[in-house]
């Protein structure tokens, strides 16, 4: 039983690490801050979330598992807010989106 | 009643994070929760919280599902060799039907965690949410997806 849980936790860690890697590659490859936030806020959240779930599975201790899951929930609550704030602040500071952008309603309405 | 329910929820959360479910720790968590609620007392609107629990859980599950979907999509995008071709970024004005701060906040967060979209700003008069899309060949389709998906669900929870 513990063996199975250890393998499960290991698998979760590997998948989570893969998502985190994808987030990092996304931050390097995408053209501007706005598109980069997509990679950081989504793949990054799921990556660290899976690591938390792995801890919860491996710990075999209710209080540790609960804390790990609470950590995941806090990630879910805070990651989109920080991504949103960075995007808003960048826009307010005058950081222009990539030239690839064709539709920009925010520009049009201001 | 709603206030009390939130305070209890905060106390349990506190106990979960600190890892001790003793009476003293629960009371401490409750006290801190009440203090935190007191600080934000003017911002609290009172939706009928408890009767909405099944719909809230439904919304949370939808949220998790969309998060997984969105991560896989972003991953496939950034790992594809000809990434630049599939990128078509746009900032789109999404006309809001939901009006309260709570609903707009929730919708903005959900949008940020769904495939290819990120909330950037809300218009001063709260009529429009500006959404950044990583690849949006179809503006109307995107607006329709959000409005019949998340926005409709949020309206069910808060109506």
Distance CA A50, CA A54 (A): 6
3-state secondary structure of B135: strand
pLDDT at A108: 64
- Does one domain contain both B73 and B138? yes
Q: Is residue B120 part of a domain?
A: yes
Question: What's the complex ipTM?
Answer: 0.74
Spatial distance between the Cα atoms of A69 and B105, rounded to a whole number of angstroms: 23
B95: phi then psi, degrees, rounded to nearest 5: -70, 125
- Torsion, Cα B27 B102 B151 B93, to 10 degrees, reads -140
Q: Residue B100: what pLDDT?
A: 80
List of chain B residues whose C-beta atoms are within 8 Å of the C-beta of residue A105: 91-93, 130
Burial B50-85 (b: 16+ CB within 10 A, else e): eebeeebeebeeebeebbeebbbbbbebbeeeebee
Identify the pLDDT of residue A11.
93
Q: Can you give the residue range of the structural domain that contains B25?
A: 3-39
pLDDT at B137 over 90: no
pLDDT of A17 strictly over 90: yes
A108 vs A32: which has the higher pLDDT = A32
Q: Is the pLDDT of residue A89 over 80?
A: yes
Whether A110 shows a pLDDT value over 60: the answer reads no
Q: How far apart are the CA of A80 and the nearest CA of chain B, in angstroms?
A: 5
Burial of B35 (0-12, 13-18, 19+ CB in 10 A): exposed
Higher pLDDT, A22 or B56: A22
A76 in Cβ contact with A45 (< 8 Å): yes
Rounded to whole angstroms, the Cα distance separating B116 from B71 reads 9
Strand, coil or helix: B147:
helix
Q: Is the domain of B23 the same as that of B88?
A: no
Is residue B33 a part of any domain in this protein? yes
Task: Please check whether residue B138 lies inside any domain of the structure.
Answer: yes
- Please report which helix (H) or strand (E) contains residue B128, including its range: strand B128-133
Q: Do both B83 and B115 map to the same domain?
A: yes
Mutate to test the interface with A, among B29, B78, B122 (most CBs of A within 10 A): B78
The answer to whether residue B94 scores a pLDDT higher than 80 is yes
HEC assignment per residue over B83-122: HHHHCECEEEEEECCCCCHHHHHHHHHHHHCCCCEEEEEE
| pLDDT at residue B49 is higher than 90 | no
User: What is the average pLDDT across A46-53?
Assistant: 89
Determine the 3-state secondary structure of B157 from DSSP.
helix
Query: Which has the higher per-residue pLDDT, B28 or B85?
Result: B28
Asked whether residue B150 falls in the same domain as residue B100, the answer is yes
Say if the Cβ atoms of B78 and A30 lie within 8 Å: yes
Q: Average pLDDT of chain B?
A: 79
Asked if A66 lies within 8 A of B118 by C-beta distance, the reply is no
Which residue reads 């607006």 in tokens?
Answer: B143
Instruction: Give the pLDDT confidence score for residue A15 in this predicted structure.
Output: 92
Pairing assessment for the beta strands A103-104 and B90-95 based on DSSP bridges: parallel
- Chain A residues within 8 A of B77 when measuring between CB atoms: 26
Identify the band that residue B24 occupies on the pLDDT scale cut at 50, 70 and 90.
Answer: confident
Q: Is residue B117 part of a domain?
A: yes
B79 is a domain residue: yes
The domain tally of chain B equals 2
Question: Band of the pLDDT at B156, cuts 50, 70, 90?
Answer: confident
Query: In this complex, is the C-beta atom of A87 within 8 Å of any C-beta atom belonging to chain B?
Result: yes
Give B109's pLDDT tier (boundaries 50, 70, 90). confident
Given a contact cutoff of 8 angstroms between Cβ atoms, the answer to whether B135 and A31 are in contact is no
What's the pLDDT at A62? Answer: 73
Is residue A88 classed exposed, middle or buried when 0-12, 13-18 and 19+ CB atoms within 10 A define those classes? middle
Grade residue B64 by pLDDT with cuts at 50, 70 and 90: confident
Q: Please tell me whether residues B56 and B13 are part of one structural domain.
A: no
Is B44 part of a structural domain of the chain?
no
At residue B77, the 3 state secondary structure works out as helix
Assess contact for A35 and A90: CB atoms under 8 A: no
Residues B67 and B14 in one domain: no
Q: Do B32 and B64 belong together in one domain?
A: no
Contact between chains at A106 and B79 (C-beta distance less than 8 A): no
Q: Is residue B68 part of a domain?
A: yes
Task: Judge if B34 and B60 occupy the same domain.
Answer: no
B contact test, residue of A84, A86, A99 with most B CBs within 10 A: A84
A8 touches chain B (CB under 8 A): no
Mark which residues 36-55 of A lie under 8 Å from B by CB: 37-39, 41-43, 45-47
């Amino acid at each position: 039983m513990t063996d199975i849980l250890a393998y499960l936790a290991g698998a979760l860690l590997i998948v989570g690490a893969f998502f985190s890697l994808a987030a990092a590659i996304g931050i390097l490859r995408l053209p501007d801050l706005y598109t980069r936030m997509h990679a950081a806020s989504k793949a990054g959240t799921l990556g660290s979330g899976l690591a938390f779930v792995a801890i919860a599975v491996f710990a075999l201790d209710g209080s540790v598992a609960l804390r790990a899951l609470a950590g995941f929930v806090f990630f879910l609550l805070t990651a989109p807010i920080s991504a949103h704030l960075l995007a808003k602040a960048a826009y307010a500071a005058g950081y222009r989106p990539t030239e690839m952008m064709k539709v920009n309603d925010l520009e049009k309405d201001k | 009643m709603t206030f009390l329910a939130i305070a209890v929820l905060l106390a349990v959360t506190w106990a979960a994070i600190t890892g001790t479910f003793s009476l003293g720790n629960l009371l401490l968590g409750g006290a801190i929760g009440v203090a935190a609620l007191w600080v934000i007392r003017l911002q609290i609107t009172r939706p009928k919280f408890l009767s909405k629990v099944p719909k809230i859980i439904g919304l949370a599950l939808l949220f998790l599902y969309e998060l997984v979907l969105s991560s896989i999509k972003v991953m496939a995008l950034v790992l594809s060799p000809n990434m630049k071709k599939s990128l078509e970024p746009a900032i789109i004005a999404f006309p809001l039907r939901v009006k309260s701060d709570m609903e707009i906040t929730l919708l903005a967060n959900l949008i940020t965690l769904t495939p290819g979209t990120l909330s950037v700003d809300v218009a001063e008069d709260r009529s429009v949410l500006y959404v950044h899309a990583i690849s949006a060949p179809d503006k109307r389709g995107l607006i329709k997806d959000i409005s019949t998906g998340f926005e409709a669900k949020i309206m069910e929870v808060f109506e």
